[in-house]
Amino acid sequence: MIIRGDFGEPYCSQSCHEKGGKYASAVMLKNQSGVCGICQKPVQASMYGTSNCAIVPYEGVNLFICNSCTVQGKAHLKSYEKCCMCQKTL
Ligand SMILES: [Zn+2]
Ligand SMILES: [Zn+2]
Protein backbone atom coordinates (compact mmCIF):
# COMPACT_ATOMS: atom_id res chain seq x y z
CA MET A 1 0.00 0.00 0.00
CA ILE A 2 1.30 3.43 -0.90
CA ILE A 3 -0.18 6.60 0.55
CA ARG A 4 0.88 9.87 -1.03
CA GLY A 5 1.17 13.25 0.65
CA ASP A 6 0.55 16.73 -0.74
CA PHE A 7 3.75 16.64 -2.76
CA GLY A 8 3.20 13.13 -4.06
CA GLU A 9 5.69 11.81 -1.54
CA PRO A 10 5.08 8.14 -0.77
CA TYR A 11 4.45 6.61 2.64
CA CYS A 12 4.11 2.91 3.50
CA SER A 13 1.20 3.38 5.90
CA GLN A 14 -1.36 5.79 7.30
CA SER A 15 0.75 6.06 10.42
CA CYS A 16 3.87 7.14 8.47
CA HIS A 17 1.73 9.59 6.53
CA GLU A 18 0.53 11.19 9.78
CA LYS A 19 4.04 11.25 11.20
CA GLY A 20 5.26 12.93 8.03
CA GLY A 21 2.61 15.64 8.33
CA LYS A 22 3.48 16.29 11.97
CA TYR A 23 7.16 16.36 11.14
CA ALA A 24 6.67 19.00 8.44
CA SER A 25 4.43 21.10 10.71
CA ALA A 26 7.04 21.02 13.46
CA VAL A 27 9.66 22.42 11.07
CA MET A 28 7.22 25.12 9.94
CA LEU A 29 6.47 26.06 13.55
CA LYS A 30 10.17 26.42 14.32
CA ASN A 31 10.55 28.88 11.41
CA GLN A 32 13.51 26.92 10.17
CA SER A 33 15.53 28.21 7.28
CA GLY A 34 17.44 26.08 4.83
CA VAL A 35 18.15 25.62 1.16
CA CYS A 36 15.87 24.26 -1.51
CA GLY A 37 16.72 20.61 -2.18
CA ILE A 38 16.29 21.12 -5.91
CA CYS A 39 17.83 24.52 -6.81
CA GLN A 40 19.82 25.23 -3.58
CA LYS A 41 18.23 28.67 -3.17
CA PRO A 42 17.90 29.79 0.49
CA VAL A 43 14.38 29.31 1.83
CA GLN A 44 12.48 30.23 4.96
CA ALA A 45 9.82 27.99 6.48
CA SER A 46 7.06 29.50 8.55
CA MET A 47 3.70 28.34 9.82
CA TYR A 48 2.03 31.73 10.18
CA GLY A 49 4.45 34.19 8.61
CA THR A 50 5.84 34.36 5.11
CA SER A 51 7.00 31.01 3.93
CA ASN A 52 8.53 30.54 0.51
CA CYS A 53 8.85 26.79 0.56
CA ALA A 54 7.21 23.49 1.34
CA ILE A 55 8.67 20.82 3.58
CA VAL A 56 8.61 17.13 2.91
CA PRO A 57 10.14 14.53 5.22
CA TYR A 58 12.76 12.68 3.21
CA GLU A 59 15.26 10.04 4.32
CA GLY A 60 15.09 11.16 7.93
CA VAL A 61 15.73 14.83 7.22
CA ASN A 62 13.48 17.58 5.97
CA LEU A 63 13.58 18.39 2.34
CA PHE A 64 12.83 22.01 1.56
CA ILE A 65 11.23 22.71 -1.80
CA CYS A 66 11.00 26.37 -2.80
CA ASN A 67 7.90 27.70 -4.50
CA SER A 68 9.64 27.80 -7.90
CA CYS A 69 10.56 24.12 -7.72
CA THR A 70 7.12 22.72 -6.88
CA VAL A 71 6.80 20.92 -10.22
CA GLN A 72 10.29 19.40 -10.16
CA GLY A 73 9.90 18.45 -6.52
CA LYS A 74 6.65 16.64 -7.14
CA ALA A 75 8.11 14.81 -10.15
CA HIS A 76 11.09 13.69 -8.08
CA LEU A 77 8.98 12.46 -5.17
CA LYS A 78 6.60 10.65 -7.48
CA SER A 79 9.40 8.43 -8.68
CA TYR A 80 10.81 7.87 -5.20
CA GLU A 81 10.31 4.26 -4.17
CA LYS A 82 10.80 4.32 -0.43
CA CYS A 83 8.56 5.45 2.42
CA CYS A 84 9.56 9.07 3.12
CA MET A 85 9.21 8.50 6.85
CA CYS A 86 10.68 5.08 7.65
CA GLN A 87 12.65 4.40 4.43
CA LYS A 88 10.92 1.08 3.86
CA THR A 89 11.12 0.04 0.20
CA LEU A 90 7.71 0.24 -1.41
ZN1 LIG B 1 14.11 25.57 -5.60
ZN1 LIG C 1 6.83 4.06 6.51
For residue 19, the enclosing domain spans 3-78
Partner residues linked to 82 by β-bridges: 89
Ligand at minimal distance from the CA of 34 is 1
- Note whether residue 88 is domain-resident: no
Q: Indicate the pTM of the whole model.
A: 0.90
Number of domains in the chain: 1
| Full DSSP string of 52-85 | -EEEEEETTEEEEEEGGGHHHHHHHHHT--B-TT
83 CA → ligand 1 middle, Å: 22
pLDDT digits (tens, 9 = 90+) for 32-48: 999 999 999 999 999 88
Residues with CB under 5 Å of ion ligand 1 are: 36, 38-39, 41, 66, 69
- Note whether residue 20 is domain-resident: yes
pLDDT digits (tens, 9 = 90+) for 17-74: 999 999 999 999 999 999 999 999 999 999 888 999 999 999 878 999 999 999 999 9
- Note whether residue 24 is domain-resident: yes
26 CA → ligand 1 middle, Å: 21
Number of Cβ atoms within 10 Å of the Cβ of 66 = 22
